[in-house]
Amino acid sequence: MPNLPALDTLSLAQQVAQMVVVRASGYLFDHQIQYPAWEPVAETLRHWVQDWGVGGVILLGGSAGELVLRTQQLQAWASVPLLIAADVEEGVGQRFAGATWFPPPMALSAIAQTHADQAEQLAEAMGAATAQESCAIGLNWVLAPTVDVNNNPANPVINVRAFGDVPETVSRLATAFIRGAQRHPVLTCAKHFPGHGDTAVDSHLDLPVIPHSLERLQHVELPPFRAAIAAGVDSVMSAHLLIPALDSTQPATLSPRILTQLLRQELGFDGLITTDALVMGAIANRYGANEAAVLAVEAGADILLMPSDPVGAIQAVCSAVETGRIAAEQISASVNRIWRAKHKAAVVDQPTIASLGTGETIAAASAMLQASMQVHTTASSRLTHLHPDASKRNLILVDDALGCDFLGRHTPAIALPAAMGYHLQIVDSRSAMTDLAPEPTLLQLFIRGNPFRGSAGLTHAAEAWLHSLLQSEQLHALVIYGSPYSLETFLPILPQDVPYVFTYGQMPEAQAIALNSLFAP
């Protein structure tokens, strides 16, 4: 068990600091930092952990091997064991190279339409693998599952991160994920309360409004949260949403009506309530950094995730307690919950990478990809039936060519067509349309909802390229990686004799499975 001090031995500032989780780079060295606006240099991070005693760190970037060293370093700095979190909704490999990368949760929804039991078994295996690999590298807080019901195809921020668009399916698959994760000493997190699925605005950029009635919320948005709570989820993350039926003035993250009355009292949740990142535009653009932290604690949050000024947030909450705006007992109650969580997520053994990427976890990810893939092809339309001397183009469209971590010369989307004589052309959503030389073209679209960027721009670019290739009769095959909504958009204009493959995954394993189904053996 971790050695946690008695609450009455901690000052007010030390207690409040335990409620703060800061963002940091998973890379070991300052010159590797990729998001300097959010990720502090080592000296600052150490100051926050060692001198101010923040309660946790959320990490992004680096390999799984680096994370072992990084998490050990962070815990060594801390006088109180840290919560170390990551957004690993698609497995640890989604964020940290070398671990298992699963397809997004919506793939399970596709499987559940015809094989509900298989989907549930795979969801449980995914939860277990994510928790196991998190423990292996020193993470103890899995910020998953997403239990939003994504019933708006235009949703730019949830999209394929959800387990589907039907509350019952989302509930069943999310609780299976939680059940699998509970085999290991990590915390789970249901997000984004009370439901971020029916928005067309990215809360990273602005404040979405959910106009639905309370009756609709009770039937659609809330059931998966009720199910997750019944399954023993350890934490619930708030959504930066304005929901007038619940609170006409404050977004959910800052609303006592939503966090305390609805979540804590009506739904009976006694675990950790954490905000979503307080640096996100929906909050940061409307409230002062420190005032937002105070409002979130007033609303009932136990954890302040990624405040833009951690020290200022601690000082502001302390001042609010000292002036009577926030009761000291509320701070104590939050820290008691944090202590309970830290006891559960205690690091017993040193992290080890031995259990990363095992045959069992890789097989589960592959099974999800295989079972959720859609293929339309015939023996006569397989790509090897092109004349071997023909000029052939592999045209790949991605959101951001410079920030694309799932493509490289060795990855199947590039290597497999190259071995068959295709020459490569990569474009992104900012590339200007050009006249293409007349040659048969394999079009590969990597397209899904992406926080901060959405998918609208990429969808328009993809439509333009697709129309151009169809009009010039150059398109001879299509592969879509990521969003089923994109497939639905493009299918009506796709000729029946053009083979296509759709897969939810974008990682190399998904590329290999998709292309091998398209090319003749």
The strand ranges marked E within 194-252 are 235-238
23: phi then psi, degrees, rounded to nearest 5 = -85, 145
Contact yes or no for 200/155 (Cβ under 8 A)? yes
Helix (H, G, I), strand (E, B) or coil at 101: coil
Amino acid (1-letter code) at residue 30: D
Q: What does DSSP assign to residue 393?
A: E
What Cα–Cα distance (Å) separates residue 159 from each residue in 142, 150, 156, 413?
20, 6, 6, 23
Helix (H, G, I), strand (E, B) or coil at 482: strand
303: phi then psi, degrees, rounded to nearest 5 = -120, 130
Residue written as token pair 């600091």: 17
Going by their DSSP bridges, the two strands 392-398 and 475-482 should be labelled as unpaired
Identify which of 151, 164, 142, 155 has the alpha carbon closest to the alpha carbon of residue 87: 142
| Residues 6+ away with beta carbon under 8 Å from 251 | 207, 239, 240, 241, 242, 282, 283
Q: Give the Cβ contact number of residue 115 at 10 Å.
A: 13
45: phi then psi, degrees, rounded to nearest 5 = -60, -45
> In whole angstroms, how large is the CA radius of gyration of the chain?
24
86: enclosing H helix or E strand: strand 83-86
Identify which of 87, 52, 78, 84 has the alpha carbon closest to the alpha carbon of residue 313: 52
Q: Which of 87, 234, 276, 399 is catalytic?
A: 276
Contact yes or no for 263/300 (Cβ under 8 A)? yes
Torsion of Cα atoms, 261 then 23 then 400 then 446, to 10°:
-50
Tokens describing residue 118: 């298989």
Tokens describing residue 304: 């302040």
Torsion of Cα atoms, 374 then 379 then 383 then 387, to 10°:
-170
Read out DSSP for 419-431? Answer: HTTEEEEEEETTS
Q: What share of the chain is helix, strand, coil (3-state, %, to 5)?
A: 45, 15, 40
Q: Which of 192, 204, 240, 476 is catalytic?
A: 204
Contact yes or no for 2/71 (Cβ under 8 A)? no
Does 276 qualify as catalytic in the annotation? yes
Distance of alpha carbon 79 from the chain centroid = 30
124: enclosing H helix or E strand: helix 116-137
Residues across the chain: 521
The distance between the two most distant Cα atoms of the chain, rounded to a whole number of Å, is 80
Active site residues per annotation: 204, 276
